[in-house]
């Protein structure tokens, strides 16, 4: 996978993940172009389209579009299920996730994505394992908050 | 004063900045604070620091160094959570600096016995990312075999991550990862035969490990079908199971279930197509895809059309695909989504052959009338190609193209109408029909300008063939064309003027009428220079030239040389290589192509490259003594200038220039220009595909031997001419600068160098020689650039044939060009252990070639070393236990494959003998390299 974009029906970008090196300018250009293309498509149309020399796989969940760019030889259907699995992970973590969760807890959305996909490839498909990793991190966060509050410590672990 | 900020506030503000950035605003400060957070001991602070870096970092080298430091500490911390964060960061940024810093460490983390599973997963994908950005910085080594064994790991998450890594590495280093095939097959087999609950959380909507299955099937597509019968049988069983399972009733109504199941199915079909060896499976795949063609899920219809398109290119399944023609045509008419219709067009194109061409072309033309604007041009190209390729009857071809122009004139590119003219000119059986048809088409009150162009050109050449009919008498033809003249653009008018002058020759009876038109103010005083000049020149020509001269000057166009259809080239460009099923190569058609061969011969480039040489760095003074030249430059012969200096002209892209060639032939200027240049010594270089001319090739191999271990030097010299070479090679590409020095004080005229590839070599080497100036002044030197692409391994050498006139006598010289297989070597450094491991792998008798021969030169170890390095391999020290022996390793790069190569040279000074042993994975490569190198000592 080359990149993944989450954007709203209004075309607002909510999350972006790039797995290929691009300049900020290029990223913006690609985002603008793709958001336009995808938003213009009608509901019953197929979820795949050719775009430049890539394949775009997208799916809409409520007000959010999840959009992945994959290479020619990559599998479209499994990419569609990557999107679905990511939505399931967010849903499980936030408890029926909505756009606002992703806006205000964007860092969690990124952390979950990093546990699931890394370098553009699936790292861990087990829902349990991904969420376990995130929960452990959350625990670490809480215990640190309890034990040390804002005071810095030289050796935590 | 950020000193006052404590860790918590720092984290808070960095997080806010990130939020602002993600809302779409630019952030140009705060990077330093984020870097500071990395070295915090608090997990949350570190985590936010890493997130900021991952999202926002650009290769600001100063920061990267600091970031790398923090990462290094975390990687060494042995705390799995911190290691995970650090690895995620490397994988997210993936810059070259990071590769330089960590590419060597990550493999160690990956294969270490005590690494936690989750860290292994991250390490595998992190390494994958670094390999993608900087493959040169990721050293292959002992770890690779241990990575392959991760396919057997108990943890399916580890296997999933490792499979991605192995697939990417195996694409570039297939030999190194060969063992992954049998491991992948057995893993896949265990997954597809498992019950849906066996894999617990790795089962996705009743489908066992769909992601891993897809990845394993992708990995297998890096290799040919397994040779070992047991493995092969097991794989076939797996594929059959997948096909069977796809037919079972669904275990869930959820779309996720069907998607996951079909994702595996489609990947399995890709593998079946890739292997292209099991007719049974291919036909089954085709039938199952056929069911999807009418599925209610748009996604499945789309993918079925796409996948079937590749099946159409296999000879085993082509017929099976064809049975679905009606469904596909129906899809073209009824699909509501343009991207699906596009796939249907592609599939029709892919399944087209002689039996159904008329139907498919008719349907495509039909569809074109209503097709979306975005895909019209592509359909036009496809129709044009199919019509040409499968034309039995050329009248059908001409009709089809004229229909194309009528229906979608705006989308008919120049290539298409150039091509129809080429074909009409090359085939005399269709010329009369073409003239009649264009004449009729031009009767329409409003016709597309492209039709005027085609009509003008064809009537100008063949109008005489229909002039007998009083309804299309010369005057009527002329008036018809001229009635369109004023509505046309300048280039078309220019073309029509050329048609008029051709009419003067074809139909002397209307010469007066035409002269009147040319003489009119609107022509002679036209504000466009090109039109004005043509009018003036043509008028003059028609008045002063005798009938004989006119007949010569305005003679019918000679047939065009055959080359790859420019339309096909254009379509390939449009679609990008690989996505277009190449009708020519893949379908193995039995019938002869209608228009003769279409070998992709790169054509002439119109630009002239010549370097007059005022500043002379004389060859004899500079480098020559060390060149060990068989042809020492004679006193008068040090004319070659700058051959060995480092000033190399900027590198131009190796672009085919078919259009430029067309321009030359087709731009309205052609009638006059053509006949001026139509003498046999055309001042341009073409890669000629015919037999080499019957000129003795100068003592072929000796000249070549001289250049095997070096790239520069004098290739040829006689009293008149000196030819110098300077060449550079990188991977499978090369560029050669050929310098022609005129040693005399008289001009060389009609100087025409041709590079000729003997039969067979054409498909192995792509050679494109730029044209050179046809005149070389006395004492001057010109340079010619020759671009070379190695497509596959080859044995023969191309021949450089030079013809020129010197003092009235035609000179003809042929020399072999020293383009040898070893030029495409990339040296490979490796350790002794690796060397011997590979050496043992290449132990089958076909892979090894050995030669024992007598030394022909003094046995100097330093010279030998230099020659081995010059040959292109890396000279490996300390590999052979005997320090007298030489050991080398390298990889031959061709467009299609890479061949790893190991060599060992054992000198025996007492006997004055050498023993040379070569091992590569391909017999012909081993033999060729052994022969080439043996000549050197």
* Contact between chains at B88 and A144 (C-beta distance less than 8 A): no
Residues of B in contact with A78 (CB under 8 A): 210-211, 214, 259-260, 263, 267
Share of chain B above pLDDT 70, in %: 85
Determine the Cα–Cα distance for residues B923 and B38; give it in Å rounded to an integer.
Answer: 54
Residue B615 has pLDDT above 70, yes or no: no
Q: Give the mutation candidate from B260, B292, B331 for the A interface (greatest A CB count, under 10 A).
A: B260
A151 within a domain of the structure (yes/no) = no
* Contact between chains at B337 and A45 (C-beta distance less than 8 A): yes
Q: Give the mutation candidate from B202, B293, B345, B581 for the A interface (greatest A CB count, under 10 A).
A: B202
Most confident of B27-36, B405-414, B914-923: B914-923
> Residues of A numbered 18-77 whose beta carbons fall under 8 angstroms of chain B's beta carbons: which are they?
19, 21, 23-24, 42, 44-50, 53, 72-73, 75-77
Looking up tokens 């066996």, which residue turns up?
Answer: B198
Determine the Cα–Cα distance for residues B801 and B813; give it in Å rounded to an integer.
Answer: 6
Q: Is B15 labelled as part of a ligand binding site?
A: yes
* Contact between chains at A45 and B212 (C-beta distance less than 8 A): no
Higher pLDDT, B655 or B774: B774
Q: Quick one: pLDDT at residue B309?
A: 92
* Contact between chains at B299 and A76 (C-beta distance less than 8 A): yes
Least CB-CB distance to B214: which of A23, A49, A78? A78
- Residues with Cβ within 8 Å of residue B293, at least 6 apart in sequence: B301, B304, B305, B308, B324, B327, B328, B331
Would you say B400 and B416 are in contact if contact means Cβ atoms under 8 Å apart? no
Residues of B in contact with A124 (CB under 8 A): 118, 121, 157, 160-161
* Contact between chains at A107 and B15 (C-beta distance less than 8 A): yes
> Residues of A numbered 82-121 whose beta carbons fall under 8 angstroms of chain B's beta carbons: which are they?
82, 84-85, 106-107, 110-111, 114, 118-121
Contacts 24+ apart (CB under 8 A), B249-257: B251/B196, B251/B206, B252/B205, B252/B206, B254/B205, B255/B297, B256/A81, B256/A84, B256/B204, B256/B205, B257/B205, B257/B206, B257/B207
A155 within a domain of the structure (yes/no) = no
Least CB-CB distance to B302: which of A42, A46, A120? A46
| Residue closest to B25 by CA, chosen among B51, B54, B56 | B56
Q: Is B202 labelled as part of a ligand binding site?
A: no
Residue B645 has pLDDT above 50, yes or no: no
A57 within a domain of the structure (yes/no) = yes
Q: Report the topology of domain B822-935.
A: TATA-Binding Protein (3.30.310)
Q: Quick one: pLDDT at residue B216?
A: 96
pLDDT tens for B487-516 read 899 999 999 999 999 999 899 889 899 999
Q: Quick one: pLDDT at residue B688?
A: 38
Query: Which residues constitute the domain of residue A74?
Result: 3-145
pLDDT band at B416 (very low <50, low <70, confident <90, very high): confident
Residues of B in contact with A135 (CB under 8 A): none
A116 within a domain of the structure (yes/no) = yes
Contacts 24+ apart (CB under 8 A), B576-579: B576/A53, B578/A72, B579/A72
Alpha helices in chain A (DSSP H): 24-39, 76-94, 99-104, 106-116, 127-148
User: Residue B223 CA to chain centroid, in angstroms?
Assistant: 21
Q: Is B823 labelled as part of a ligand binding site?
A: no
pLDDT band at B550 (very low <50, low <70, confident <90, very high): confident
**Alpha-carbon torsion (B838, B841, B843, B846), positive or negative:** negative
Burial class (CB in 10 A: 0-12, 13-18, 19+), B650: exposed
| Residue closest to A28 by CA, chosen among B818, A36, B96, B386 | A36
What's the angle, vertex CA B499, arms to CA B494 and CA B505, rounded to 5?
Answer: 140
Tally of domains within chain A: 1
Interior/surface letters A141-154, b for 16+ CB within 10 angstroms, e for the rest: eeebeeeeeeeeee
Question: What secondary structure letter does DSSP report for B618?
Answer: B
* Contact between chains at A46 and B267 (C-beta distance less than 8 A): no
* Contact between chains at A78 and B210 (C-beta distance less than 8 A): yes
Residue B414 has pLDDT above 70, yes or no: yes
Kindly report the number of other CB atoms within 10 A of residue B542's CB atom.
21
Least confident span in A45-49, B326-330, B553-557: B553-557
* Contact between chains at B81 and A46 (C-beta distance less than 8 A): no
Q: Is B12 labelled as part of a ligand binding site?
A: yes
Least CB-CB distance to B259: which of A16, A49, A77? A77
* Contact between chains at A141 and B43 (C-beta distance less than 8 A): yes
Q: Give the mutation candidate from A6, A84, A91, A123 for the B interface (greatest B CB count, under 10 A).
A: A123
DSSP B319-344: HHHHTTHHHHHHHHHH-S-HHHHHHH
pTM here is: 0.63
* Contact between chains at B43 and A15 (C-beta distance less than 8 A): no
What's the angle, vertex CA B810, arms to CA B809 and CA B812, rounded to 5?
Answer: 140
A152 within a domain of the structure (yes/no) = no
pLDDT tens for B170-182 read 998 898 899 999 9
Least CB-CB distance to A137: which of B81, B161, B260? B81
Would you say B362 and B379 are in contact if contact means Cβ atoms under 8 Å apart? no
Q: What is the CATH number of the domain that holds A80?
A: 3.30.450.60
pLDDT band at B578 (very low <50, low <70, confident <90, very high): very low
Would you say B786 and B770 are in contact if contact means Cβ atoms under 8 Å apart? yes
Residues of A in contact with B339 (CB under 8 A): 45-46, 48-50
Coil, strand or helix: which one is B913? strand
Q: Quick one: pLDDT at residue A66?
A: 96
Determine the Cα–Cα distance for residues B50 and B37; give it in Å rounded to an integer.
Answer: 8
Determine the Cα–Cα distance for residues B242 and B386; give it in Å rounded to an integer.
Answer: 36
Residue B553 has pLDDT above 70, yes or no: yes
Q: Quick one: pLDDT at residue B698?
A: 53
Residues of A in contact with B204 (CB under 8 A): 81, 85, 125
Residue B911 has pLDDT above 80, yes or no: yes
C-alpha R_g of chain B: 34
Q: How far, in Å, are B369, B437, B879 from residue B714 at the CA level?
A: 61, 58, 36
Q: Is B178 labelled as part of a ligand binding site?
A: no
**Strands across the sheet containing A64-70:** A13-18, A3-8, A64-70, A54-61, A48-51
pLDDT (average), residues B919-932: 88
Residue B588 has pLDDT above 60, yes or no: no
Token output for B405? 């122009």
DSSP B484-510: HHTTS-HHHHHHHHHHHHHHHHH-GGG
ipTM: 0.91
State the nearest Cα–Cα gap between A27 and chain B, in angstroms. 11
Looking up tokens 């004080």, which residue turns up?
Answer: B745
Token output for B824? 């495409």
Determine the Cα–Cα distance for residues B545 and B390; give it in Å rounded to an integer.
Answer: 44
> Span B699-819: which CATH code?
2.60.40.1230
Q: Quick one: pLDDT at residue B1?
A: 46
pLDDT band at B703 (very low <50, low <70, confident <90, very high): low
Token output for B871? 């040959």
Mean residue pLDDT across chain B: 81
State the nearest Cα–Cα gap between A105 and chain B, in angstroms. 10
A103 within a domain of the structure (yes/no) = yes
* Contact between chains at A114 and B92 (C-beta distance less than 8 A): yes
State the nearest Cα–Cα gap between B93 and chain A, in angstroms. 8
Burial class (CB in 10 A: 0-12, 13-18, 19+), B265: buried
Q: Quick one: pLDDT at residue B621?
A: 34
Mean residue pLDDT across chain A: 86
Would you say B918 and B931 are in contact if contact means Cβ atoms under 8 Å apart? no
Q: Quick one: pLDDT at residue B749?
A: 87
Q: Quick one: pLDDT at residue B130?
A: 92
Q: How far, in Å, are B16, B409, B508, B545, B551 from residue B542 at the CA level?
A: 82, 34, 10, 6, 11
Q: Give the mutation candidate from A124, A141, A146 for the B interface (greatest B CB count, under 10 A).
A: A124
Q: Is B131 labelled as part of a ligand binding site?
A: no
Q: Is A143 on the interface with B (CB under 8 A)?
A: no
Would you say A108 and A93 are in contact if contact means Cβ atoms under 8 Å apart? yes
pLDDT band at B697 (very low <50, low <70, confident <90, very high): low
pLDDT tens for B1-40 read 455 677 788 888 888 888 888 777 778 788 888 888 888 8
Token output for B167? 């697939």
pLDDT (average), residues B268-288: 91
pLDDT (average), residues B208-219: 95
State the nearest Cα–Cα gap between A135 and chain B, in angstroms. 12
Residue B301 has pLDDT above 90, yes or no: yes
Least CB-CB distance to A144: which of B43, B262, B339? B43
How many Cβ contacts (< 8 angstroms) between chains A and B? 186
Higher pLDDT, B446 or B641: B446
Would you say B326 and B320 are in contact if contact means Cβ atoms under 8 Å apart? no
Residue B275 has pLDDT above 80, yes or no: yes
Determine the Cα–Cα distance for residues B218 and B181; give it in Å rounded to an integer.
Answer: 11
Least CB-CB distance to A123: which of B22, B121, B200? B121
A153 within a domain of the structure (yes/no) = no
Residue A145 has pLDDT above 80, yes or no: no
Determine the Cα–Cα distance for residues B916 and B852; give it in Å rounded to an integer.
Answer: 6
Residue B121 has pLDDT above 90, yes or no: yes
Residue B699 has pLDDT above 60, yes or no: no
**B748-756 vs B687-688, strand pairing mode:** parallel
State the nearest Cα–Cα gap between B91 and chain A, in angstroms. 5
| Residue closest to B236 by CA, chosen among B268, B204, B266 | B268
Most confident of B295-309, B639-653, B672-686, B742-756: B295-309
C-alpha R_g of chain A: 17
DSSP B813-864: EEEE----GGGGEEE----HHHHHHHHHHT-STTTEEEEEEE--S---HHHH
Q: Quick one: pLDDT at residue B201?
A: 87
State the nearest Cα–Cα gap between B220 and chain A, in angstroms. 13
Determine the Cα–Cα distance for residues B189 and B833; give it in Å rounded to an integer.
Answer: 34
Determine the Cα–Cα distance for residues B908 and B919; give it in Å rounded to an integer.
Answer: 21
B210-220 and B180-192 helices, crossing angle to 10°? 150
DSSP B680-726: SS-SS--EE-SPPPSSPBTTHHHHHHHTSS-SEEEEEE-SSEEEEEE
* Contact between chains at A121 and B42 (C-beta distance less than 8 A): no
Q: Quick one: pLDDT at residue B140?
A: 84
What's the angle, vertex CA B457, arms to CA B454 and CA B460, rounded to 5?
Answer: 140
| Residue closest to B553 by CA, chosen among B571, B540, B566 | B540
| Residue closest to B178 by CA, chosen among B150, B148, B143 | B148
Kindly report the number of other CB atoms within 10 A of residue B401's CB atom.
28
Q: Quick one: pLDDT at residue B677?
A: 32
Domain ranges in chain B?
699-819, 822-935
Token output for B904? 């060992």
Residue B522 has pLDDT above 60, yes or no: yes
Would you say B547 and B553 are in contact if contact means Cβ atoms under 8 Å apart? no
């Amino acid at each position: 996978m080359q990149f993944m974009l989450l954007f709203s029906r209004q075309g607002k970008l909510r999350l972006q993940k790039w797995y290929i090196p691009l300049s900020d300018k290029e990223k913006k250009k690609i985002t603008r172009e793709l958001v336009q293309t995808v938003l213009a498509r009608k509901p019953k149309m197929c979820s795949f389209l050719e775009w430049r020399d890539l394949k775009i796989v997208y799916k809409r969940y409520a007000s959010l579009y999840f959009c992945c760019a994959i290479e020619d030889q990559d599998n479209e259907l499994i990419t569609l299920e990557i999107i679905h699995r990511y939505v399931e992970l967010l849903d499980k973590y936030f408890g029926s996730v909505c756009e606002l969760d992703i806006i205000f807890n964007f860092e969690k959305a990124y952390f979950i994505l990093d546990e699931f996909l890394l370098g553009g490839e699936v790292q861990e498909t087990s829902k349990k394992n991904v969420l376990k990793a995130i929960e452990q991190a959350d625990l670490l966060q809480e215990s640190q908050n309890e034990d040390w509050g804002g005071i810095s410590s030289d050796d935590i672990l | 004063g950020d000193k006052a900020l404590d860790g918590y506030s720092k984290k808070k503000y960095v997080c806010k900045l990130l939020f602002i950035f993600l809302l779409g605003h630019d952030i140009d400060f705060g990077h330093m604070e984020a870097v500071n957070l990395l070295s915090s001991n608090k997990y949350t602070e570190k985590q936010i620091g890493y997130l900021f870096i991952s999202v926002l970092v650009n290769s600001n080298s100063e920061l990267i160094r600091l970031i790398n430091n923090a990462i290094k500490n975390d990687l060494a911390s042995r705390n799995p959570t911190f290691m995970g964060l650090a690895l995620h960061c490397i994988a997210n940024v993936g810059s070259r600096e990071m590769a330089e810093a960590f590419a060597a460490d990550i493999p160690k983390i990956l294969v270490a016995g005590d690494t936690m599973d989750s860290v292994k997963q991250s390490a595998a994908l992190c390494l994958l990312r670094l390999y993608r950005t900087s493959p040169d910085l990721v050293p292959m080594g002992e770890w690779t075999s241990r990575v392959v064994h991760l396919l057997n790991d108990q943890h399916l998450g580890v296997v999933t991550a490792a499979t991605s890594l192995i697939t990417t590495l195996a694409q570039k280093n297939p030999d190194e990862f060969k063992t992954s095939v049998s491991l992948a097959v057995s893993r896949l087999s265990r997954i597809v035969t498992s019950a849906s609950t066996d894999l617990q959380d790795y089962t996705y909507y009743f489908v066992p490990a769909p992601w891993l299955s897809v990845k394993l099937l992708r990995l297998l597509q890096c290799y040919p079908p397994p040779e070992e019968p047991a493995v092969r049988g097991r794989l076939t069983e797996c594929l059959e199971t997948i096909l069977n399972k796809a037919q079972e009733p669904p275990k869930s109504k959820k779309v996720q279930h069907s998607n996951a199941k079909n994702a595996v199915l489609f990947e399995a079909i890709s593998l079946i197509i890739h292997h292209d060896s099991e007719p049974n499976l291919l036909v089954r795949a085709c039938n199952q895809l056929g069911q999807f063609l009418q599925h209610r899920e748009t996604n499945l219809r789309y993918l079925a059309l796409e996948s079937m398109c590749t099946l159409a290119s296999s000879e085993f399944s082509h017929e099976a695909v064809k049975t679905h023609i009606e469904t596909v045509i129906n899809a073209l008419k009824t699909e509501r989504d343009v991207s699906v219709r596009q796939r249907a067009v592609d599939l029709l194109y892919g399944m087209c052959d002689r039996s159904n061409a008329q139907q498919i072309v008719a349907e495509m033309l039909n569809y074109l009338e209503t097709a979306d604007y975005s895909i019209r041009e592509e359909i036009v190209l496809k129709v044009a190609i199919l019509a040409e390729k499968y034309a039995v009857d050329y009248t059908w071809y001409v009709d089809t193209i004229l229909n194309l122009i009528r229906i979608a004139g705006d989308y008919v590119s120049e290539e298409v109408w150039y091509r129809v003219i080429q074909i009409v000119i090359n085939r005399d059986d269709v010329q009369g029909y073409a003239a009649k048809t264009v004449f009729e088409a031009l009767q329409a009150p409003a016709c597309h300008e492209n039709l005027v162009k085609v009509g003008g050109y064809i009537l100008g050449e063949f109008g005489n063939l229909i002039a007998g009919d009083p309804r299309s008498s010369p005057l009527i033809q002329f008036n018809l064309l001229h009635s369109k003249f004023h509505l046309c653009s300048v280039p078309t008018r220019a073309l029509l003027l050329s048609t008029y002058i051709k009419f003067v020759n074809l139909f002397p009876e209307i010469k007066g009428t035409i002269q009147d038109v040319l003489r009119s103010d609107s022509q002679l005083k036209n504000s466009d220079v090109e039109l004005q000049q043509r009018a003036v020149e043509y008028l003059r020509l028609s008045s002063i030239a005798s009938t004989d001269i006119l007949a010569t000057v305005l003679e019918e166009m000679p047939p065009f040389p055959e080359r790859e259809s420019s339309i096909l080239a254009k379509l390939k460009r449009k679609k990008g290589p690989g996505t277009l099923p190449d009708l020519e190569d893949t379908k193995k058609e039995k019938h002869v192509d209608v228009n003769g061969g279409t070998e992709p011969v790169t054509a002439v480039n119109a630009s002239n490259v010549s370097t007059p040489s005022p500043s002379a760095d004389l060859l004899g003074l500079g480098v020559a003594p060390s060149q060990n030249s068989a042809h020492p430059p004679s006193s008068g012969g040090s004319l070659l200038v700058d051959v060995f200096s480092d000033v190399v002209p900027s590198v131009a892209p190796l672009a085919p220039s078919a259009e430029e060639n067309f321009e030359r032939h087709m731009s309205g200027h052609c009638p006059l220009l053509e006949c001026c240049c139509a003498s046999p010594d055309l001042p341009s270089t073409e890669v000629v595909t015919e037999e080499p001319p019957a000129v003795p090739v100068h003592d072929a191999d000796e000249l070549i031997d001289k250049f095997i271990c070096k790239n520069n030097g004098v290739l040829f010299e006689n009293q008149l001419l000196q030819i110098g070479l300077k060449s550079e090679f990188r991977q499978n590409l090369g560029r050669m600068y050929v310098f022609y020095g005129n040693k005399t004080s008289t001009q060389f005229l009609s100087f025409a160098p041709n590079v000729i590839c003997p039969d067979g070599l054409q498909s192995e080497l792509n050679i494109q020689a730029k044209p050179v100036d046809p005149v070389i002044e006395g004492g001057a030197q010109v340079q010619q650039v020759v671009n070379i692409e190695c497509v596959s391994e080859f044995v023969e050498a191309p021949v450089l044939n030079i013809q020129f006139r010197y003092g009235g006598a035609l000179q003809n010289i042929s020399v072999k060009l020293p383009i040898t297989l070893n030029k495409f070597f990339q040296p490979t450094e490796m350790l002794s252990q690796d060397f011997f491991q590979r050496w043992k792998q290449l132990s089958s008798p076909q892979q090894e070639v050995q030669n024992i021969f007598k030394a022909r030169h003094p046995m100097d170890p330093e010279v030998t070393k230099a020659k081995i390095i010059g040959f292109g391999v890396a000279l490996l020290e300390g590999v052979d236990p005997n320090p007298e022996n030489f050991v080398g390793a390298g990889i031959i790069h061709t467009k299609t494959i890479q061949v790893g190569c190991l060599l060992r040279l054992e000198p025996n000074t007492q006997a004055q003998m050498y023993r040379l042993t070569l091992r590569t994975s391909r017999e012909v490569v081993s033999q060729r390299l052994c022969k080439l190198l043996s000549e050197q000592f």
